[in-house]
Structure 1
Amino acid sequence: MRISRRTLLAGAGAAAAAAVVLPGGQQGRAVLDVRRFGARGDGVTDDARAIQTAVAALRPHSTLYFPTGSYRFARHRPAGDAAVVIAGLSDVAVEFGPGAELLMDNLDSTSGTGAGHGLLVHGPASRIALRNIRIRWAGNARRSFGDGIRVLGGPTVAAPPRGWPGPVTGVTLTDCVVQGCPQAGVIMMGVSDIAVSGLRVTGTRADGLHFNACRRARIQDYRAVDTGDDGLALVTYFSPDPAFDADSATFSFPALTDWSNTDFTVADVRVTGGKANGVRMAGAHRVAVTGLAVDGVRSGAAVMVDSAAPGADAGWNYVASRGVRLDDVAASHCDMGIHLLARPGESGDRRFTDFDVAVSDVTLDECDNWSVRAESLTDRQIRGLQVANCRISSSSTTGGNGGLGIGSARDISLADVSIRHTKSVRAFDTVNTGGLKVDRLSVNQP
Structure 2
Amino acid sequence: MRPVFDVSAYGAAGDGVTNDHDAIVRALYREYLPTQFGLHRVPRFDPDEGAVLRFGPGRYRIDGTLARVVAQHRLVVEGAGPGRTVLAFDQHDGRPLPGAPFHRDPRSRLAAGGHPGHWVDELTIAHLTLTTDPFPFEGSDRTLGLTALSVGWCRRLRITDVEVAGVPSFGIYAHHCRDVLIEGCHVHHTHVDGVHVSRSRGVRIEGCRVHDTGDDAIAVSGTEDHASSNVVVTGNEVERAGSRGIAVFGVRSALVTANRIRGTYQAGITVCVHPGHAPSRDVAITDNDVRDAGLHPGERPPEAPLWGGGAPSGIAVVDDHEPHVGVMLRRVRIEGNRLGRCRNSFVSIRRARDVSVGENRFDGPLVTGPRPWDGGEGGVGLSGSGVVAPAGPPGAVPVRVVESTDVTVAARTGGHAPPA
Q: Is the Cα contact below 8 Å between 1:55 and 1:84 reproduced in 2? A: no
TM-score, normalised relative to structure 2? 0.77
Task: Work out which of the residue numbers 191, 214, 218 in structure 2 matches 1:205.
Answer: 191
Counterparts of residues 45-60 of structure 1 (less than 5 Å): 45-57=18-30, 58=43, 59=45, 60=47
Residues of 2 paired with 1:62 and 1:395: CA distance? 54
Give the direction of change, closer, same or farther, for the CA distance of 1:106–1:439 in structure 2 (3 Å limit). closer
SS in 2 for 1:333: strand
User: Hey, which bits of structure 1, 4+ residues long, moved more than 6 A?
Assistant: 399-402, 405-410, 442-445
Residue of structure 2 equivalent to 1:192: 178
In terms of fraction of residues, the more strand-rich structure is 1
Spell out, residue by residue over 1:95-153, the C-alpha distance to the aligned partner (whole angstroms, 9 max, x if none): 11141111122333899x98422342224210111121311123566554421211111
1:64 lines up with 2:47 in the alignment: no
CA distance in 2, matches of 1:192, 1:152: 10
Map of 2:66 onto structure 1: 82
Aligned to 2:300: none
User: Percent of aligned pairs with the same residue?
Assistant: 23
Structure 2 SS opposite 1:323: strand
Q: 2:273 aligns with which of 301, 307, 320?
A: 307
Structure 1 counterpart SS, 2:236:
strand
Aligned twin of 2:34: none
Q: 1:288 to 1:407 in 2, by over 3 A?
A: farther
Preserved CA contact (<8 Å) 2:356 2:409: no
Superposed CA deviations along residues 300-334 of structure 1, whole A, max 9, x for unmatched, are: 111121125xxxxxxx3223311111111111112
- Does the aligned pair in 1 maintain the 2:5–2:27 contact within 8 Å? yes
Displacement of 1:439 in angstroms is 3.0
2:123 equivalent among 128, 133, 138: 128
**How far 1:228 sits from its partner (Å)?**
1.5
| Structure 2, gaps ≥5 residues long | 31-42, 97-101, 137-141, 295-312
Name the residue aligned to 1:151. 151
SS at match of 1:367: strand
Is the Cα contact below 8 Å between 2:353 and 2:406 reproduced in 1?
Answer: no
Higher RCO by CA contacts (8 Å cutoff, separation 6 or greater): 2
Please tell me whether Structure 1 or Structure 2 has the larger radius of gyration of its CA atoms: 1
Unaligned runs of 5+ in 1: 1-27, 154-167, 239-252, 254-258, 309-315, 377-381
Hey, what's the Cα distance between the residues in 2 that align with 1:419 and 1:413? 9
- 1:245-264 equivalences in 2 (<5 Å): 253=225, 260-264=227-231
- 2:76 pairs, out of 72, 78, 93, with 93
Take 1:281 and 1:127, find their aligned partners in 2: how far apart are those partners?
26
Q: CA deviation at 1:272?
A: 0.8
**Deviations 1:334-390 (Å, cap 9, x if unpaired)?**
2121111125656x52252x41111111122111222211113xxxxx312212222
Residue aligning to 2:354: 384
**After the TM superposition, which of the residue ranges 62-71 and 366-375 deviates more from structure 2?**
366-375
Aligned-pair CA distance for 1:62: 1.1
Taking structure 1 as reference, are residues 417 and 91 closer, same or farther at Cα in structure 2, changes over 3 Å only? same
Aligned to 2:220: 234
Paired AA for residue 57 in structure 2: T
Q: 1:188 Cα deviation (Å)?
A: 1.1
Task: Write the distance in 2 (CA, Å) between the matches of 1:84 and 1:96.
Answer: 20
Aligned-residue CA RMSD in angstroms? 3.2
Deviations 1:193-252 (A, max 9, x none): 1122111111111111111110012221011111111111111123xxxxxxxxxxxxxx
Given that 2:221 and 2:251 are in contact with CA atoms closer than 8 Å, whether structure 1 keeps it comes out as: yes
Pick closer, same or farther for the CA change 1:415–1:134 going to 2, 3 Å.
farther
Counterpart in the other structure of 1:33: 6
1:218–1:229 Cα change, 3 Å: same
Q: 2:367 aligns with which of 381, 388, 396?
A: 396
Q: Residues of 2 paired with 1:227 and 1:395: CA distance? A: 24
Greater share of helix? 1
Are 2:93 and 1:108 aligned? yes
- Compute the displacement of 1:281 (Å): 0.9
Q: TM-score, normalised by structure 1?
A: 0.73
**In structure 2, distance between residues paired with 1:44 and 1:386:** 56
The alignment status of 1:420 with 2:390, answered yes or no, reads yes
1:370, 1:401 within 8 Å by CA — same for their partners in 2?
no
Give the equivalent residue in structure 2 for 1:369: 344
